[in-house]
Structure 1
Amino acid sequence: MAASSDERFKMLVAALDFGTTYSGYAFSFKGDYANDPSKINANTMWTTGSKSLFSQKTPTCLLLRPDKTFHSFGFEAEEHYSSLVDMDEHHSWYYFRRFKMLLHNNMDLTRDTKVRDESREKGKELPALDVFAHSIRYLKNHLLKHLKKKSVANLIGGEEDDEYIHWVLTIPAIWNDRAKQFMREAAKEAGIKSTNLSLALEPEAAALFCKILPLEKQTTESGTNLSMLKPGTRYMVLDLGGGTVDVTVQEVLPDHTLKELHKASGGAWGGTKIDEAFRQLIISIVGAPVFQEFQEKYPKDYLEMLQSFETKKRAVNTSSKDTFRIPVSLVELFEDEFGEKLDLIPSKTRHRGKLELNGDKLILSGEMISEMFKHSRESIVEHVESLFAHPFCKDVDKILMVGGFSECVIIQEAIKKRFPNKRVVIPPDAGLAIVKGAVLFGHNPKMIISRNTKWTYGVQTNRNFKPGDPPDKMFKVGNVEKCKEIFSVHIGVNKTVEVGTPLPPKRYRALHRDDETIDIPIYISSEEQPEFTTDSSCSYLGKLTIELQKSNSDREIEVGMTFGGTELVVEAKGTKNKEVCVAKFDFLESKDKQS
């Protein structure tokens, strides 16, 4: 007897970890999950040209041909672009890297948003939706090829791959709803059906993975066994990625499900901030004009310098000097421009005694290394400190550090030093904890039973004009005076909401009898009870479109929203006949178009 579509898609869960600096994937079969949830496969072999590299992930780099068609991704894209640069044939190609941060805290994100290629040459930009879709499609296809090599093509293959696989995309918990919808639409363009796709919040996924680690693998830095996530445990997840730092506080309930104790928070303090600090240090030594010329004339050397630093930064510490290589081409360019040796420059600048240059070697003191990490390190520590000052962190005595940047020694030491009474836990392969946890989430999303809202959510509506209302907000419908731009709150900020449980519905009425649809603007606010959508705390998020049923003669509908999932869900129906109306959110249309 043939399996049903619902049974088939559950046969395999595949998670794509689309990161700022590195990307990867993991998967597991339904049967394996039932027998041993920790049996999760992750690809640790990536190709560059004709060679294979042992690596947990591949760089988030995309190379497109001059006609804008896909050429390569990851290590292979890096290598081929470098060869194009060597032959001075790269100018018409499109090379993108570290573009995920375009989505962070971007309230102007739309389907028309563009992303510039790495060269920053004039006119070299493409729709961001296409760039993300190319990248997701590559990861999806790479996973399918990997499965077929593992002789499982008889289980998933042919034209019905999507009927057998449930896909999960990882996203930062601090992302807004625009970014979430953007990733879903990019995945759809990449060939993943929306009905077979879930979005997993990265720190939640990491916690799910650590919950199922065998006891002997749950160790602290001192090597002591730690049964970390047993019922009753309250802990903080510190998800340190390349672009963002996500922090969430959770509790393990008696039935082993997870409850969020406070809304997700964080900021853009990830590993790329250290890369930029290193870049600015080099600019302070050679000067901006020389550095700009270096980027333009020797782009391959520039990229290799950044790649080399990216690899080394996780292992450096502030207790001793360390050596970094800088390209000979940069040294020669400086000396040709100014007619003096580059290694003499540090003694003439504010860097005296903190660094020295010897040929192509840049030797940094512990103090200088500490300065490069200062902004990111202090931002993370201060944010965690502010969270521990709140009542919801009472009894939280464990900090779980996950994500690729959590492997950075300097950040680890800063957390341990500032919070000596907390048990800092860094799981094995911390960089894979998120993607493996996302697989677990795909198998059983009900493991997360509640979350906390990051904003106050509401809609822009009208009501009868009252004395004291701002005169400029008054308008008339017939002879009735109305007040516009009212913030009708659906739920306040940092409220605990159960997953899958809709809030009590609110009622809205069409302004005109012949209206076939209602477009309701959706707003968010950092305040508990904003009055107007024009208040400074408010931002336009998108719109909710509801198709009215002709049989609903009074043109009134009730709208129920569900906020507990990783994405917003809406249901609308007539107030009299209870007929369900088609209702959908659109967070990617600009406010100008909406109005």
Structure 2
Amino acid sequence: MARFRVAAAIDFGTHASGYAWSAVTRDGADPRRRDIVDREQWPGTTEKRYPKTRSALLLDGSDTVLAWGYPAVRAERPPGSRLVTGMKMSLRPSDDPSRPAPGSRVPRALSDDLSRPVPLIAAYLARLREVAVAEITAGGRYRESDIRWCLTVPAIWSQAALGAMREAAGTAGFPSGHDALLLEPEPDMAALYCAVQELTPTGPVRALLSAFRRPGRRFVVADCGGGTVDVVAYEVLGDGSLAQLGRPSGGAFGATYTTNRFIQDVLGSRFLDQTNLERLTRHHWAEFQELLGDWETHRNTFTVGSRESVALRVDGLHGLLSPEDLRHLGEVQGGKGDRIVVRPKEMAGLLESAVGGILPLVDEHVARAVEAAGGGRPDVYLVGGFSKSPYLRERVRAHVGQRGRVFTPDRPERAVLHGAVHRCYASAVREDGEQGAGAAGSAVAARRAGPDISERCALYTYGARVSEPYDDEDGAQDRPLETNDEGRHFCPDRFLRFVAIGQRVGVGHEVAHRNVVPIRADLPLMTVEFYATHAPDPRYYDTAPAKRIGHLTVDLSTCMHLPREDREVDIHLTFGRAEITVRAVNRHGGKAADATLDLDPEF
């Protein structure tokens, strides 16, 4: 009997979030016919069919949740309350150029600069989990313990951001174990979705294609969501699984950031001064949200070459602006002072603020796919909510040109969510096969369960700062020298590499460095610092710009009676998953040593 009887996924997005699930059956149903259930009707929505609700919380003055999802956005705001949206973007590094400038008073379409985002993310995830669990267990056939969860994350996120997501998920009531809660990169999940769909080109050719059945085929997935855009190139391997061809790349080029530009550039210029804009967001909250919704509707239908201006009504505009401000509005807009008018050139410029960052990412991975294939035309698959924009699709198709074909799967807003269910399902079936018939059974089960991700590329070169015997090159580099209690000289700045940047590693692949020993005999704890760098194989930990990602502490108190050189520890790092995991083994007796990898918050 399979340990997990339900595969469930949470797509926690910047703009919107949702859940989906499927029962895991013994016969390993064809994934193209797998019954995946999601929720397309949410309280407060005006969408007829959309598998997500808004990633939003309405909080009172003590941060008690008053409403969540669409109702949080559309509800009247009581005095002292605040709306929080897009909170996951606060997990990106503090030096990210897309963060608002310190002290900025310009209203934003998302809360991407929160000082403590984890408790708020946890509060939102808890409510989403409760709704999902209630639906899955409603018939009495399944218990919550039957569920294996998959929580999707941006491919470009740091290990600290992933750790924060796992912490938030645990607080929200999700299981804590890595086997019961998978964290999976969003574009990889979208690739799995595409792998089981019949895809229709966005261009003039309308023939249905089966693009993922030939080993050696290369393709590119661009996951264009509300906050981040991730782009990755893939190859289909002989067993039908997918492997990344290079490290993912991306940035904060999602649809929500075009709304930020709309607020900053359009509303900022029309409302004459910052005070008027703040009054709109504070005292005319419902009108402001209707205005943003109207803008987003027009944005999602705007096409390349459109000559029609967009007129956005703002109820109460005359009560908000002074006669002087209304005259200014009319002058800026060619006499139209009763609405916000956005000219075609302005609309294109707002969209280009995001599309202009996406196109170079697509270039990079199309070139990688062409190089890996020795020529040929790779296919490019646009997924995510932003990919429904005809402007984005048209620009990408024109930009790629003859280098490849551009496709959009059916229901691209489902791609990450349903792909995560496929990933969760395949892992459960594979493990069931391993338990029943070993590796051979696992291989058969994996083929029956459908495509899966088998190899990923390291985002950085990962390694440890260690002490190595001092030599002439260390002296020539004027490196520090330390001497242990035996009188031996060491350089404490050397870099011990575990995996190189861009290196393809199997999912769950473990890399070990053996016979690591302390350089001093009197220390009961051995601390190893880990670093990430873009340099492929540096001699020193700080040769190239490097980030300290955390440290490993090994308790040696049980072997202090041994000579120093016999206190050998093997350090194992597991790569290929979204998260890097670590274990340390004391070689004296083969016992596992107590070890923790404490991640630095800025990585």
Q: Secondary structure at the match of 2:51?
A: coil
Q: Secondary structure at the match of 1:443?
A: helix
Question: 1:492 pairs with 472, 485, 500, which one?
Answer: 500
Q: 1:560, CA displacement in angstroms? A: 1.9
Give, as a single letter, the amino acid of the residue that structure 2 aligns with 1:442. C
* 1:184-232 deviation per Cα after TM superposition (whole angstroms, max 9, x unaligned): 111111111122100111111111112122x4x5555432111111122
**Which residue pairs with 1:574 in the alignment?**
586
Aligned counterparts, 1:10-159, within 5 A? 10-31=4-25, 34-37=28-31, 38-48=34-44, 54-80=49-75, 83-84=76-77, 89-91=78-80, 93-105=81-93, 127-148=116-137, 151-152=138-139, 154-157=140-143
Is 1:541 paired with 2:549?
yes
Q: 1:33, CA displacement in angstroms? A: 8.0
CA distance in 2, matches of 1:362, 1:459: 56
Give, as a single letter, the amino acid of the residue that structure 2 aligns with 1:538. A
Q: 1:70, CA displacement in angstroms? A: 3.0
Is 1:399 paired with 2:399?
no
Q: Is 2:201–2:405's contact at 8 Å kept on the other side of the alignment? A: no
* 1:366-424 deviation per Cα after TM superposition (whole angstroms, max 9, x unaligned): x2221112232122112222333342364352001111111111110011111222221
CA distance in 2, matches of 1:322, 1:507: 69
CA distance in 1, matches of 2:591, 2:266: 64
Percentage of pairs with the same residue: 25
CA distance in 2, matches of 1:68, 1:277: 28
Q: 1:262, CA displacement in angstroms? A: 1.0
Question: 1:565 pairs with 577, 580, 587, which one?
Answer: 577
Aligned counterparts, 1:217-366, within 5 A? 218=200, 220-221=202-203, 222-232=205-215, 233-279=217-263, 280-289=265-274, 290-318=276-304, 319-330=306-317, 332-336=319-323, 338=325, 340-346=327-333, 357-365=336-344
Is 1:524 paired with 2:532?
yes
CA distance in 2, matches of 1:41, 1:357: 48
**Which residue pairs with 2:453 in the alignment?**
448
Structure 2 unaligned regions, length at least 5? 97-103, 428-445, 447-451
CA distance in 2, matches of 1:140, 1:384: 34
Q: CA RMSD in A?
A: 2.9
CA distance in 1, matches of 2:602, 2:389: 39
**Which residue pairs with 1:112 in the alignment?**
none
Give, as a single letter, the amino acid of the residue that structure 1 aligns with 2:596. K
CA distance in 1, matches of 2:329, 2:64: 42
Is 1:555 paired with 2:567?
yes
Give, as a single letter, the amino acid of the residue that structure 2 aligns with 1:531. R
Is 1:164 paired with 2:146?
yes
- Going from structure 1 to structure 2, the CA distance change for 1:20 and 1:333 (only over 3 Å counts) comes to same
Question: 2:471 pairs with 450, 457, 466, which one?
Answer: 466
- Going from structure 1 to structure 2, the CA distance change for 1:576 and 1:144 (only over 3 Å counts) comes to closer
CA distance in 2, matches of 1:197, 1:117: 39
**Which residue pairs with 1:368 in the alignment?**
346
CA distance in 1, matches of 2:26, 2:408: 26
Q: Secondary structure at the match of 1:513?
A: coil
Q: 1:465, CA displacement in angstroms? A: 3.3
Give, as a single letter, the amino acid of the residue that structure 1 aligns with 2:460. W
Aligned length: 549
Q: 1:46, CA displacement in angstroms? A: 0.5
**Which residue pairs with 1:381 in the alignment?**
359
**Which residue pairs with 1:513 in the alignment?**
521
- Going from structure 1 to structure 2, the CA distance change for 1:70 and 1:547 (only over 3 Å counts) comes to farther
Q: 1:27, CA displacement in angstroms? A: 0.4
CA distance in 2, matches of 1:589, 1:420: 42
Q: Is 2:512–2:570's contact at 8 Å kept on the other side of the alignment? A: no
Q: Is 1:549–1:579's contact at 8 Å kept on the other side of the alignment? A: no
- Going from structure 1 to structure 2, the CA distance change for 1:271 and 1:284 (only over 3 Å counts) comes to same
Give, as a single letter, the amino acid of the residue that structure 1 aligns with 2:401. P
Give, as a single letter, the amino acid of the residue that structure 2 aligns with 1:285. R
Q: 1:470, CA displacement in angstroms? A: 4.8
- Going from structure 1 to structure 2, the CA distance change for 1:438 and 1:539 (only over 3 Å counts) comes to same
**Which residue pairs with 2:442 in the alignment?**
none
Q: Is 1:14–1:166's contact at 8 Å kept on the other side of the alignment? A: yes
CA distance in 1, matches of 2:572, 2:470: 26
Q: 1:254, CA displacement in angstroms? A: 2.4
Give, as a single letter, the amino acid of the residue that structure 1 aligns with 2:312. R
Give, as a single letter, the amino acid of the residue that structure 2 aligns with 1:537. P
Give, as a single letter, the amino acid of the residue that structure 1 aligns with 2:424. G
* 1:505-535 deviation per Cα after TM superposition (whole angstroms, max 9, x unaligned): 2442224434343232211001112333334
Q: 1:61, CA displacement in angstroms? A: 0.3
Q: Is 2:220–2:365's contact at 8 Å kept on the other side of the alignment? A: no
- Going from structure 1 to structure 2, the CA distance change for 1:462 and 1:117 (only over 3 Å counts) comes to farther
CA distance in 2, matches of 1:303, 1:337: 25
- Going from structure 1 to structure 2, the CA distance change for 1:220 and 1:369 (only over 3 Å counts) comes to closer
Structure 1 unaligned regions, length at least 5? 109-115, 348-355
Report the more deviating stretch, 518-527 or 285-294: 285-294
Q: Is 2:232–2:365's contact at 8 Å kept on the other side of the alignment? A: no
Give, as a single letter, the amino acid of the residue that structure 2 aligns with 1:395. G
Give, as a single letter, the amino acid of the residue that structure 1 aligns with 2:257. K
Q: Is 1:181–1:588's contact at 8 Å kept on the other side of the alignment? A: no
